[in-house]
Amino acid sequence: MADTKREIERKYEADPDTDLPDLTRVTGVSAVADHGVAELDATYYDTADLRLAAATITLRRRTGGDDAGWHLKLPVAPGVRDEITAPLSPQLPRALAALVRARTRGAALVPVIRLATTRATTLLTDADGTVLAELSRDAVRAERLLGDGGATASWDEIEVELADGGEPRLLDRVGKRLTKAGIRAADSPSKLARALAETGLTPPVTEAGPPGNAGDHVLAYLREQVDALLAHDPGVRRDLPDAVHQTRVATRRLRSAFRTYRKILDRTVTDPLGEELKWVAGELGVARDTEVLLERLRGRLDELPRTLLLGPVRGRLRVWSAARGSGARRKALTTLDSRRYLALLTSLEALLADPPLLKAARGAPGTVIPKAVLKDYDRLAQRVEHALALPSGDERDLAMHDARKAAKRARYAGEAATPALGTPAKRFAKAMKSVQTVLGDHQDSVVARDALRNLAIQAHGAGESAFTWGLLYAHEQSSASARERELPAIWSEASAPGLRAALTA
């Protein structure tokens, strides 16, 4: 079984003779107590081409100290990592191997660095004796294991780690006290990063200069989305809130960019990738769609007076939700472990490494990119005008759904164009988002009405009252009508000629 904790720490340069200042003068710290010395022996694992290190991920097997075992550290923010631990065992636990599968994709994990550390630990506590932070003085010896091996390095450092539930500002106060005493922040973000550098191992780095032509801008945006896809993969596997949603957003943005910039990227390469991205989003979407719909229906129930809740409506909703969600997580994990998904990730990275650029990619961003964005706008305009011309009913519902998808694509086009075009593209994207929001809420109402009808049928079949479900159906129908009435005004504002003219100014 793997356990997780949030690691928030700061590192500082030191040598054996470095004197620590009096840390009881730090606000909130009442006592500083020695916690003993430990000998730590850690072997770090990575692929032969150092894919984990390139993504600032560390995987180690460590003995000694009070947390011997396997440790996987995933970046969250500068100085913040999620540490997932598993008991000490000869082989890498499957749970940890799965969390780096999107990076390794079948490549073997091999020993790359060994660190032997003598650690003297000091605890910083408050007046009640509660531990606020742990300060470690580490004497480190690194040995290169990968390749020819043999190269070594050694150094001393100070590490200050916040205790569980601690206030991050404490680290700022401790850091200020240390720097006043002449102790400077470490240049390397981790021991592994320093060990790799000082023993002659260099992780692969994507060196992209400042975007110049239109192709550079598009590739920079695609790289962002591929990075997001890879970064959120462990979160989906860990069932973290919003991880599935963010993964699907990355897939949609990639697909949208492939379509928007067909004059820049060869469709014979990007179209198949777009289909695979659509498949991934669909496979991961079952749980997310159910979650969103359930939240909406629960909210509708909460709005009703208790006197209108006839029958076991909440129980019926729980049964319905469980039936829809059954197997959804298993399906998501099966998708992420599939050869098809891993092959897609490899293909996306290959596209970035050797992009299938067309002649237009060499054009000026201010000329090529606005044309692509405005083409997506024209597509949206046709769909919105078609939807508005139809009477309320199923046909208009379908037309508004098509318009919603076009609005999302136009919004993403504006977002992708923002680094190249600046404020005009940002304003355009914001306007497209407002249209998408109205159309999206309308579509949510359509989906909710379908679910409510099924719930009413199930309730009636079980001898329960269907009154409440019918009432909610009417509420959703009214909500959809309200969105339809809002759309003309929202569209009038979003389709203002000035928004589009600014893109080419």
Q: Are both 279 and 396 inside the same structural domain?
A: yes
Which residue from 331, 303, 330, 300 is spatially nearest to 317, judged by alpha carbons? Answer: 300
Question: How big, in percent rounded to 5, are the helix, strand and coil portions of the chain?
Answer: 55, 20, 25
CA distance 338 to 342: 6
Residue 306, H or E segment = none
Terminal-to-terminal C-alpha distance of the chain: 58
Domain-embedded: residue 205: no
Output phi, psi for 5, to 5 deg.
Answer: -145, 155
Q: Are both 220 and 187 inside the same structural domain?
A: no
Q: Are both 182 and 220 inside the same structural domain?
A: no
Q: What is the per-residue pLDDT for 207?
A: 65
Q: Are both 453 and 309 inside the same structural domain?
A: yes
Q: What single-letter DSSP state applies at residue 88?
A: -
pTM, 2 dp: 0.90
Q: Are both 189 and 236 inside the same structural domain?
A: no
Q: Are both 194 and 224 inside the same structural domain?
A: no
Domain-embedded: residue 204: no
Report helix angle 365-389 to 214-237, nearest 10: 60
Q: Are both 310 and 413 inside the same structural domain?
A: yes
Q: What single-letter DSSP state applies at residue 189?
A: S
Domain-embedded: residue 373: yes
Q: What is the per-residue pLDDT for 133?
A: 95
Domain-embedded: residue 203: no
- End-of-domain residue from the set 198, 224, 251: 198
Q: What is the per-residue pLDDT for 302?
A: 92
Question: Which domain does 234 fall in, by range?
Answer: 214-503
Residue 76, H or E segment = strand 69-77
Q: Are both 169 and 221 inside the same structural domain?
A: no
Q: Are both 290 and 177 inside the same structural domain?
A: no
Number of domains in the chain: 2
Q: Which residues of the chain have pLDDT under 50?
A: none
Q: Are both 143 and 253 inside the same structural domain?
A: no
Q: Are both 436 and 328 inside the same structural domain?
A: yes
Report angle CA 299, 305, 311 to the nearest 5 degrees: 85
Q: Are both 483 and 433 inside the same structural domain?
A: yes
Query: Could you tell me the CATH number of the domain that includes residue 407?
Result: 1.40.20.10
Domain-embedded: residue 257: yes
Pairing of strands 3-14, 80-86: antiparallel
- End-of-domain residue from the set 138, 173, 198: 198
3-state secondary structure of 112: strand
Domain-embedded: residue 206: no
Q: What is the per-residue pLDDT for 257?
A: 96
Which residue from 283, 458, 479, 332 is spatially nearest to 392, judged by alpha carbons? Answer: 479
Domain-embedded: residue 479: yes
The alpha carbon dihedral of 110, 115, 121, 125 has a sign of negative
Query: Could you tell me the CATH number of the domain that includes residue 115?
Result: 2.40.320.10
Residues in the chain: 505
Q: What single-letter DSSP state applies at residue 394?
A: H
Report helix angle 243-260 to 267-303, nearest 10: 140
Q: Bridge-partner residues for 13, per DSSP?
A: 157
- End-of-domain residue from the set 141, 172, 198: 198
Domain-embedded: residue 208: no
Burial status of residue 120 (CB atoms within 10 A of its CB: 0-12, 13-18, 19 or more): middle
